Chains A and B, each alone.
Chain A
Amino acid sequence: MKMAAQAAGLFATYDIPDFFCELLNRGDIPPPDLKLVRDRLAHFDLAELRRRAAAVEAQFYRLGITFTVYSDREAIDRVLPFDVIPRVLTALEWDHVERGVQQRVRAINLFLHDIYHDRHILNDGVVPRDLVLGNANYCQAMVGLDVPGGVYVHINGTDLVRDRDGRFLVLEDNARTPSGVSYVLEDRQMMLRLMPDLARGLNIRPVDEYGPRLHRALAEVAPIGVDNPQVVLLSPGIYNAAYFEHVFLAREMGIPLVEGRDLMVEDGRVYMRTVAGPRPVHSIYRRLNDDFLDPQVFNPDSMLGVPGLVDAYRRGNVTLANAIGTGVADDKAVYAYMPRIIRYYLDEEPILTNVETHICAEREGLDYTLANIERLVVKPVGESGGYGLLIGPHATQSELDEFRALLRANPANYISQPVINLSVSPTLCPTGVEARHVDLRPFAVTGRDTWVLPGGLSRVALRKGSLVVNSSQGGGSKDTWVLAS
């Protein structure tokens, strides 16, 4: 890191290990606006930054921006830490991400239509038939059903990371009910209130269009022939982990937040219970998993859903966003095929590449994984996702041997990837401003076309060296600035 001594200031002791840092170790000549942010930050006094961080904390605490722990009702109001140093993306970087996300969403929607209709991609042997049709998230109720506009994934979150060279890589797709967008909007408000001097005069792409855009998209995909569609947000209720976000989005869209018990189905049509009696509902932004939607079709014990909802949906009287059965598309095993899926439907090269992934179901992938296991992350796919994962560089010899045996016994259950040196971003820590790993989740909204919210959720692993950005494991968030020029 080379920086004029007088400009170092806040970053004087900033120690960047061998990672890409968007602010201080980019490997290019940064555009003027980014340089300006860096210089302004450098002149901040650490104590002043801490004072502002404390003010942010108090604000968020009082607002009750929270995530809930189901088992502990008293712990209902916990605060997701917010870092006062923004993460900045250049216009060039964003253009790339935006086009890549749009391309991916297009391919995912075509893929979902295909696997629930003619299954060309399976018949052509591009994606293994069992992987899709045998997938736990494949939904029989969707077979042959035409959804408005062919849109299955109306709201998509693409988890991106950057490697040592600053290249954006897709870590995973979230095509079911991705969450976190409320933090993007709240973080921005907070940031502009607390750091006006940092943002002054900069041309930062706004984020407050999200609500109206989402509402418009949901209205666009309402059943055909409905003039003034009633859109609602279906939430599991006040004890759900993401209830704050449900409230936030309902407000941003100006629509009612309903629970399952607020809805009823009569003659294949959906109504909400109001003080004036039942009123028709046409488009449902549901934040309820497939399994809980309709006890008549899925989990019969679910008390959160609406009996008869799937029937109304199949009759085309109501639109669900996202559609049912989209979980096949964000499955870890299907992920590995995503570059091929993009090429198959769009006849284009993927703009955003996957993390290099070896599919152990294939001979080549299995051989490579077995030979290089000590340098790889080996992940089980399908239902067991997230559990029983092996991080080669951190594993003991016996763990490696054990995984080799597992791989040989059931290769189709695994994929492997190299360990990525995630990019870092300067972050206010107890010991000063330090480098912490970040990821990025841009949100794409699809109605008639696909719009990507400029920026997205930047999560930061607050523990030194940690690569885990999840809020349940010491993760925080940062405001993400997309520079307009």
Chain B
Amino acid sequence: MTQVSVFPAPVMPGLRNLLSRYAESTMWLSRYMERIENLARLIEVTSTSVSATNLDAGWDSVIRINADEGLFFQHHEAATERSVVAFYIIDANNPDSIVSMARYARENARVLRPLISTEMWMHLNVFTRWVMELGPNDVGAGYLSGLCTRLKQDCQTHFGITEGTLYRDQAWLFYILGKNLERADQITRLIDIKYHTLLPSGVGVGSDIDMSQWTSVLRSAAAYHAFRRVLPEGMTPANIVGFLLKNDGFPRSLSTSLRSVYSVLGSLAGEYRLRHCAPIIERVEELRVTLAEQTVEDIILRGLHEYMDWIQRELRQIQNEIAHAFWPPAVSVQPIGPGRMEQIQD
């Protein structure tokens, strides 16, 4: 060992620091629940918009948003509603399916049981059991909308119980951090895929079909009514992208998520005196600045896909830096326990 000890002076009185493993699990619990909600929303909207316009592209784009082309086409010939829905809701072999994610969420909650409320655990436990029991008959076309509604509602119930019962300390901040990083990631994926799926098609921009596709994008992000309120006449691709990226009042916009990430990191650094926050805060700040300084027209002109791609890489980098700062891999030779679960990100 070196002469300089890495161990700081005694614990500050009254300050209780969160176990690294808890921080990691808290973050992933909220990420998985947020991801389930987003996926349920996407499936529901896709099912209604596809049936309305009779386009196949819808189901294909669900696969592309989740970057699951490889795994999906290993087992399926084509992206039909039946195959995609089963793949994303009940296929336990797909780590991105709702049943898999519900199990990961519950496993993380199991780790967090010393920390979370009994209500949180009870709800997650019941929810996961229910999801695990879903079979092919439960995800048929006639049931899909009701099923997605229930999935969304259960996620929202989870967020509500958490908001009402989770003690406000570091764990809460990591929870908020995870949720907002996930939202930021989801919204950029949605924009990226939908924009390129829909815009360069043979159908003219601004036509009826195009419009309904854009409406469905808004609905996938739970943004339709908010958008109507802010821009009742402005249903253009640029306005919609701008709204989803830059609107500070919309709870799922990229700018709102980044603002929340920024403020949480600030609390961890300030209120809780956690070290290693500064470079991460800087990175988030840079993201926010580039987003604020450009108009949506600039962004589209310079290449929306490249921009979304860059943001997603930055978000991954932020996630990695958070992991490195707050739950660094063991310095010693200590092996990782057998029950260790893999956190699946992308």
Q: Is the interface of B mostly helix, strand, loop or mixed?
A: loop
Residues of chain B within 8 A (CB-CB) of A267 are 1
A266-B7, A275-B170, A276-B274 in contact; A63/B121 too (CB < 8 A)? yes
CB of A251 within 8 A of CB of B114, answer yes
CB of B273 within 8 A of CB of A276, answer yes
Residues of chain A within 8 A (CB-CB) of B333 are 307
Q: Write the A340-360 contact mask toward B (1 if CB under 8 angstroms, else 0).
A: 000000000000000000000
Contact of A239 among B23, B174, B327, B339 (CB under 8 A): B339
CB of A63 within 8 A of CB of B118, answer yes
Q: How large is the interface on B (under 10, 10 to 19, 20 to 34, 35 or more residues)?
A: 35 or more
- Shortest A57–chain B CB gap in Å is 14
Give complex CA distance A244, B125 in Å: 14
Using A63-B122, A273-B20 as known contacts, list a sample of 20 further A-B pairs with CB atoms less than 8 Å apart, ordered by residue number in A: A62-B125, A64-B122, A228-B13, A244-B113, A251-B113, A251-B114, A256-B19, A256-B114, A261-B334, A275-B17, A275-B18, A275-B23, A275-B170, A275-B326, A276-B17, A276-B273, A276-B275, A278-B6, A307-B333, A307-B334
**A250: Cβ under 8 A from any B Cβ:** yes
Q: Which 4 A-B pairs have the closest CB atoms?
A: A274-B17, A276-B17, A247-B113, A275-B326
Residues of chain A within 8 A (CB-CB) of B330 are 261, 264, 273
Give complex CA distance A50, B276 in Å: 58
CB of B114 within 8 A of CB of A250, answer yes
Give complex CA distance A453, B19 in Å: 30
CB of B332 within 8 A of CB of A307, answer yes
**A117: Cβ under 8 A from any B Cβ:** no
Contact of A274 among B18, B110, B111 (CB under 8 A): B18
**B301: Cβ under 8 A from any A Cβ:** no
Residues of chain A within 8 A (CB-CB) of B114 are 247, 250-251, 256-257
Residues of chain A within 8 A (CB-CB) of B20 are 262, 273-275
B residues 233-291 in Cβ contact with A at 8 Å = 268, 272-275
Residues of chain B within 8 A (CB-CB) of A274 are 17-20
Give complex CA distance A274, B276 in Å: 13
A247-B113, A275-B274 in contact; A260/B18 too (CB < 8 A)? no
Q: Write the A265-293 contact mask toward B (1 if CB under 8 angstroms, else 0).
A: 01100011111111110000000000000
Q: Which chain B residue shows the least CB distance to A59?
A: B122
A239-B339, A261-B334, A273-B21 in contact; A279/B11 too (CB < 8 A)? yes
B residues 1-47 in Cβ contact with A at 8 Å = 1, 6-8, 10-11, 13, 17-23
Residues of chain B within 8 A (CB-CB) of A261 are 21, 330, 334, 336-337
**B107: Cβ under 8 A from any A Cβ:** yes
**B126: Cβ under 8 A from any A Cβ:** yes
A-to-B contact residues, CB < 8 Å: 62-64, 77, 228, 230, 237-239, 243-244, 247, 250-251, 256-262, 264, 266-267, 271-280, 303-304, 306-307
Residues of chain A within 8 A (CB-CB) of B274 are 275-276
Give complex CA distance A252, B127 in Å: 26
**B344: Cβ under 8 A from any A Cβ:** no
- Shortest B141–chain A CB gap in Å is 30
**B335: Cβ under 8 A from any A Cβ:** yes
Residues of chain A within 8 A (CB-CB) of B113 are 244, 247, 251
B residues 163-188 in Cβ contact with A at 8 Å = 170, 174
Q: Is the interface of A mostly helix, strand, loop or mixed?
A: mixed
- Shortest A10–chain B CB gap in Å is 32
CB of A62 within 8 A of CB of B335, answer no
Give complex CA distance A250, B330 in Å: 24
CB of B125 within 8 A of CB of A64, answer yes
Central interface residue in B1, B22, B325, by most chain A CB within 10 Å = B22
B-to-A contact residues, CB < 8 Å: 1, 6-8, 10-11, 13, 17-23, 107, 110-111, 113-114, 118, 121-122, 125-126, 170, 174, 268, 272-275, 325-327, 330-339
Give complex CA distance A356, B273 in Å: 62
Give complex CA distance A271, B6 in Å: 12
Residues of chain A within 8 A (CB-CB) of B1 are 266-267
Residues of chain B within 8 A (CB-CB) of A303 are 335-338
Give complex CA distance A239, B339 in Å: 7
Q: Which chain B residue shows the least CB distance to A76?
A: B110
Central interface residue in B18, B273, B334, B337, by most chain A CB within 10 Å = B334
CB of A238 within 8 A of CB of B110, answer yes
Residues of chain A within 8 A (CB-CB) of B6 are 277-278
- Shortest B17–chain A CB gap in Å is 4
Give complex CA distance A304, B336 in Å: 8
- Shortest A476–chain B CB gap in Å is 21
Residues of chain A within 8 A (CB-CB) of B339 are 237-239
Give complex CA distance A251, B112 in Å: 11
Return 7 A-B CB contacts under 8 Å, by A number: A238-B107, A244-B113, A256-B19, A259-B21, A271-B7, A275-B268, A280-B11
Residues of chain B within 8 A (CB-CB) of A273 are 19-21, 327, 330
Residues of chain B within 8 A (CB-CB) of A251 are 113-114
Residues of chain B within 8 A (CB-CB) of A244 are 113
Give complex CA distance A262, B332 in Å: 11
- Shortest B173–chain A CB gap in Å is 10
Give complex CA distance A280, B275 in Å: 18
A258-B19, A262-B21, A264-B330 in contact; A277/B338 too (CB < 8 A)? no
Residues of chain A within 8 A (CB-CB) of B110 are 238, 243
Residues of chain A within 8 A (CB-CB) of B21 are 259, 261-262, 273
- Shortest B280–chain A CB gap in Å is 13
Residues of chain B within 8 A (CB-CB) of A239 are 338-339
Residues of chain A within 8 A (CB-CB) of B118 are 63
- Shortest B203–chain A CB gap in Å is 48
Residues of chain B within 8 A (CB-CB) of A228 are 11, 13
Contact of B121 among A64, A250, A257, A262 (CB under 8 A): A64
- Shortest A158–chain B CB gap in Å is 28
